[in-house]
Amino acid sequence: MAKDLLFELGCEDLPPLQIQGALDELVGVFTKQAEGLRLKHGPIQSFATPRRLAFRVSAVAEAQEDLEETKVGPPVAAAYDKDGNPTNAALGFLRGLNLGAQDLFEVTQEKKKGKPAQYIAAKVLETGRPTVELLPELLGSLPGALHWPKAMRWGRCPQAFARPVHWLVGRFGTETIDFEFAGIRSDNKTYGHRFHDNHAVALESPSGYEAALLKLHVNVLPHERSEAILRLAREAAEEVGGHLLEDPVLLDEIVHLVEWPVAVCGTFDEEFLKLPPQVLVTSMRKHQRYFSVVDASGAPMPHFVTIANTIPRSKEVVARGNRRVLRARLKDAEFFFREDQKRSLQEWGEGLDRVTYVEGLGSLADKSQRIAAVASWLAEKLYPHSPNLAAQARAASLLAKADLVTGMVGEFPELQGYMGGRYLLAEGADPAVAAAVGEHYAPKGAQDELPQTVLGALVSIADRVDSIASLFALGRMPSGAADPFALRRAALGVIRIALERDLRFSLKELFDVAVAEVVASATQLGTASKLGEPAEVSAKALDFVLTRLRHLAATEHKLDVVDAVLAIGSKLEDLPAIQQRIEALSGIRATAEFEPIAVTFKRVANILGETPPAASIKVNVELLGDAETVLFERTAAARSLLSEELGRRGFAAALAALVSLRPPVDQFFEDVLVNDPDERVRVNRHCLLRDVLELFNSFADVRRL
């Protein structure tokens, strides 16, 4: 009869953001070990609170699976004497296994060096041991198998864990499993909520675990706590006539800060509503783990919701205490907000020359100048008819980093950009410039929002391109998992913005400009000798961004399609064009037509091999036969159609023009022998095929398909 198994480790409050990972690892280690031990079991359910990690395995077999193993003995030649009787070697082998001569058979095995040979062998049956005998070692090995970002020791205990361990539970059906970790002996006793039920309670059976702890003011299911927190917090916000400002990241942290969530709603003085909304939200979330309350229009209300871990005698007392703490926090924020505005953002920006950007490429002031140059170049290139845009891009770039030295951003680094934008608006600066400063850090992550304005998009791209150009110039490219300047994210941001806004700049040209700015900057700083060769830096940077594009595109398209387009990437104009070529090619890649097309054009490529005729040798029309003439003419027609379609970015139509060459090519192969004995004819046919192939390759490299 299979039985359920329960494991629980009780400890002091764990770091909330490490709990889920530890729990997953715990279950993973158990599963792997159980497999190694040939222990059959059903599904595993895991549980966690700040003070415990636990899991329950359903239907664990009462014994290991039996194991039949073939043991191999000496070579047959050495196992029997000339009369066919077992030698001492064979008898010794049998004695070791406690078997008789009737159990022997022969197997063929490869020797380390040489030919396979015959050996004697016998089957041994290992009967599975009872599960209860295996569990002490298995369960005892689990706590020490976890990898914590930072582990600690306590008292005189030689073992380490994330926080001191207090109790261990191992229960197999109704039996207690005896094991030890960190000097703690397992038992069947768990403990309830620290303040409401701080006493030992015996667990009867694994199945009653959650229910037993619910009685002790502990909800061991994180998803239930999460749902409860959200529900309670929403109700609390609605009670004061508002709505909860939902914050999934905060929720995930709070889930592991409490065993028994209780929502307490408090208020703060309305005078603080003068602070920018993000300042209020950030101050409450970061310092106090409070949720914000907003009205129907999304504007902040003077309330907060905190999630307590105790059912207080009076929520009013808890709310009052929290209110006072929040008041001090908001006073601080108000102080920074007021002090910061005693100077203009421009004046704050003067402090940037004292903030090092990266050793060898000067300060953030130097970086701002480079961003300005790149952003205004982009503006001129992309919007030649809006001359004002370049000036705005320059202005926004020069102010973009200024808020980094303000008091508010010093206190809340996550408000970078946002504060600069707010301060500029308050100063009465150009709203477009303010908006660009405010959003130039977007997108923050791979899924995050992109800049909403043209100007914001330009400054964001220029900032990222400068980071890539700067660090590549200094030889500090990302390697493996190490990407300390988040350049991969920067590259991805450039790609996403360019694609979403259909910004048609040449990436190569952009990097040439950015690298030239980096060189100029370094020359001024006297650090030019630290930089790599500009053309090489620019090429590597371009390649780096295209590699990110490859990864991004590969999430939606087949990799051979992506590679076929990217293989001619350096010749391509802009990121949207690359994307659209990939999409067009991907469109036919999915159809039944694709295989025959690929076969045909690859055949062309194979015939030409590595040495197609030189471009200077033209097709001689006089030498063409009928099928060849058709192909020649169709190729010429396709060429002009292709160039016309590419000129107006009709990538699907351009590809269709290429695909239409398949029948004449096939006909050509059917009608003529390419490698004609007459060299002139042969070369001429090769020239014709070369033209076909080149035409195709101007769209995508057919050999990659």
Partner 1 sequence: MNLQELILRLQSYWAEQGCVLQQPYDLEKGAGTFNPATFFRVLGPEPWSVAFVEPCRRPSDARYGENPNRWGAYYQFQVILKPSPANVLDLYWGSLKALGIDPLEHDLRLVEDNWEAPTQGAWGLGWEVWADGMEITQFTYFQQMGGFELNPVASEITYGIERIAMYMQNVDRIHDLNWVGELSYADVHLQAEVEQSVYSLEEADVAMLQGLFETYEREATRLLDLKLAYPGYDYVLKCSHVFNLLDARGAISVTERQAFINRVRTLSRKAAACYLAKREELGFPLLKGEARETLLADASRSGG
**Cβ 482 to partner 1 shortest distance, Å:** 22
Output the smallest distance, CB 486 to partner 1, in A.
21
Compute how many other C-beta atoms are within 10 angstroms of the C-beta atom of residue 286.
Answer: 16
CB of 153 to partner 1, least distance (A): 5
Instruction: Name which of 13 and 178 has its Cβ closer to partner 1.
Output: 13
**497 closest CA partner among 423, 436, 429:** 436
Bridge partners of residue 75, in order along the sequence: 119
Task: Write the burial class of residue 313 (CB in 10 Å: 0-12 exposed, 13-18 middle, 19+ buried).
Answer: exposed
Q: How far is the CB of 338 from partner 1 (least distance, A)?
A: 14
Q: Which is nearer to partner 1, 50 or 170 (CB)?
A: 50
Nearest to 242 by CA among 290, 296, 184, 284: 296
For the CB of residue 13, give the shortest distance to partner 1 in the complex, in Å. Answer: 4
DSSP 274-292: GS-HHHHHHHHHHHH-PEE
Please count the residues of the chain. 705
Q: Check residue 267 and report its DSSP letter.
A: E
CB of 548 to partner 1, least distance (A): 32
Q: Which is nearer to partner 1, 314 or 555 (CB)?
A: 314
Nearest-approach distance from CB 309 to partner 1, in angstroms? 6
Kindly state the smallest distance separating residue 160's Cβ from partner 1, in Å.
9
Which residue's CB is nearer to partner 1, number 159 or number 629?
A: 159
Measured between alpha carbons, how far is 160 from 547 in angstroms, rounded to an integer? 42
Residues 356 and 363 sit within 8 Å (Cβ to Cβ): yes
> Which residue, 52 or 634, has its beta carbon nearer to partner 1?
52
Smallest separation, CB 490 to partner 1 (Å): 24
The Cα 63–Cα 55 span in angstroms is 20
Among 30, 31, 55, 33, which Cα is nearest to 45's? Answer: 55
- Sign, CA dihedral 83-88-94-95, equals positive
C-beta separation of 438 from 419 below 8 A: no
Of the two residues 186 and 306, which places its CB atom closer to partner 1 in the complex? 306
Least separation in angstroms between CB 334 and partner 1: 12
Q: Using the minimum distance from each CB to partner 1, give the nearer residue, 152 or 299.
A: 152
With beta carbons less than 8 A apart as the criterion, state whether 154 and 95 touch: no
Grouping H, G, I as helix, E, B as strand and the rest as coil, residue 263 is strand
CB closer to partner 1, 314 vs 529: 314
Evaluate whether 613 touches 682 at the Cβ level (below 8 Å): no
Of 310 and 698, which CB lies nearer to partner 1 in the complex structure? Answer: 310
CA dihedral defined by 610, 635, 624, 683, rounded to 10 degrees? -10
Instruction: Give me the least distance between CB of 515 and partner 1, in Å please.
Output: 28
Q: Which of 207, 310 has the CB closer to partner 1?
A: 310
Give residues in contact with partner 1 (CB under 8 A). 12-13, 15-16, 50, 150, 152-156, 162-164, 166, 194-196, 257-258, 262, 264, 288-290, 306, 308-314, 317-318, 320-322, 324-328, 331, 354, 356
Could you tell me which residues come within 8 angstroms of residue 684 by beta carbon, excluding any fewer than 6 positions away? 619, 620, 623, 624
Q: How far is CA 157 from CA 148, 166, 217, 436, 567, in A?
A: 17, 12, 30, 56, 59
CB of 401 to partner 1, least distance (A): 16
CA dihedral over 512, 515, 521, 523, signed as positive or negative: negative
Between residues 71 and 327, which has the closer beta carbon with respect to partner 1? 327
Contact 501, 576 (CB under 8 A): no
Beta carbon nearer to partner 1, 152 or 599? 152
- Taking the least distance from each CB to partner 1, the nearer of 314 and 447 is 314
Angle between helices 364-382 and 507-525 (to 10 degrees): 150
CB of 49 to partner 1, least distance (A): 12
In whole angstroms, what separates CA 137 from the centre of its chain? 36
| Nearest CB to partner 1, comparing residues 19 and 94 | 19
In the complex with partner 1, the residue whose CB is nearer, 32 or 331, is: 331
Query: Rounded to whole angstroms, what are the CA distances from 342 to 280, 401, 427, 586?
Result: 20, 18, 11, 57
Strands 300-308 and 105-109: unpaired
Q: How far is the CB of 47 from partner 1 (least distance, A)?
A: 20
- Residue 655: both structure tokens together: 């590809």
Give the pair of three-digit tokens for residue 399: 């102010």
Supply the minimum distance, in Å, between the C-beta of residue 308 and partner 1. 4
Minimum CB distance to partner 1 smaller for 320 or for 338: 320
- Closer by beta carbon to partner 1, 321 or else 532: 321
Instruction: Give helix then strand counts, H and E, for the chain.
Output: 26, 16
The DSSP line for 599-642 is HHHHHHHHHHTT-PPPTTSPP-GGG--HHHHHHHHHHHHHHHHH
DSSP of 343-401:
S-HHHHHGGGGGSBSSTTS-BHHHHHHHHHHHHHHHHHHH-TT-HHHHHHHHHHHHHHT
Give least dist CB 311 to partner 1, A: 8
Decide if 625 contacts 671 (C-beta within 8 A): yes
Characterise 217 by phi-psi region: left (phi > 0), alpha (psi -120 to 50), beta (else).
left
- Min dist CB 335 to partner 1, Å, is 8
Six-digit token string for 601: 């054009």
CA 628 to chain centroid, in Å, comes to 52
